[in-house]
Amino acid sequence: MAERPSMQDPRTQYPAPPFARQRQQMPGVAGEMKPRPDHGEDSYVGSGKLAGRKALITGGDSGIGRAAAIAFAREGADVAISYLPEEEADAREVIELIEAAGHKAVALPGDIQEEAWCRKLVETTVEELGGLDILVINAGRQQYRNDISELSTEDFDRTMKTNLYAMHWIAQAAVPHMPAGASVITTASIQAYQPSDILLDYATTKAGIVAYTKALAKQLIEKGIRANVVAPGPVWTVLQPSGGQPDEKVENFGKDSDFGRPGQPVELAPVYVLLASQDGSFINGEVYGLTGGKGVA
């Protein structure tokens, strides 16, 4: 595993736009992106912060979920990842990385738009890992539409089910299995605070995730369980070239951040580790913005 220099200029630490045109069909494959995202495959080094823990991560095949899965395994956790069947190639790589870290990996292919599957994936995780004490609800659907007239009821429904309904179904199924000291982490977005005109449905769901998690945190702390939100800005994931953004925006993705580049998934992983671990024992109902300097207010 390569060692990173102890100090680097964050503006030039990772690739900056312009990027090549690279349209993919949804849901896309991370391995076909140019440049390929850094999820921590060769760079994340753990220190035992999650030793003995049992985690479920939705959308764990690529992007932020993949980075969290790699980090959790290298911090000592067994990890189950859910993903769409079409994402099997990416998911297989993550399973191998978790196992290479010496921990149990559980693959859960299925569509979280289906309530029955959301509940089943939780039950399978508990059976296979022998429990559940970290839940990362991260999977999301993002498909841009230039005008409100183009946003069909089917589009709107699929985004709501993937980003909001699934969050509720999975959390509802998981909480009864989670002991005091456990942690729930959801993934929102800067879109909850600074919505783009072409992401009406996506931005709406991300604002909903923030509100839902803050309310849930008030309930769960009575059980000794913490719940928090991570709200990223532009992060270089396969969500973008597979319909999440127009081609011209993908080519210049992240250019407007303070760094002049998008974030890489691995740069978010330490925050997920913090919120999952006992290091975050006094953090509850908070929103952690990782926006490249744009803030979440």
Active-site amino acid positions: 202
Closest to 136 in 3D by CA, of 26, 29, 271:
271
Closest CA to 273 of 210, 212, 216, 228: 228
Q: Cα(297)–Cα(282) distance, rounded to whole angstroms?
A: 22
Any idea how long the chain is?
A: 297
Burial 23-47 (b: 16+ CB within 10 A, else e): ebeebbbbeebeeebbbbbebbebe
Q: The tokens of 246 are what?
A: 């127009």
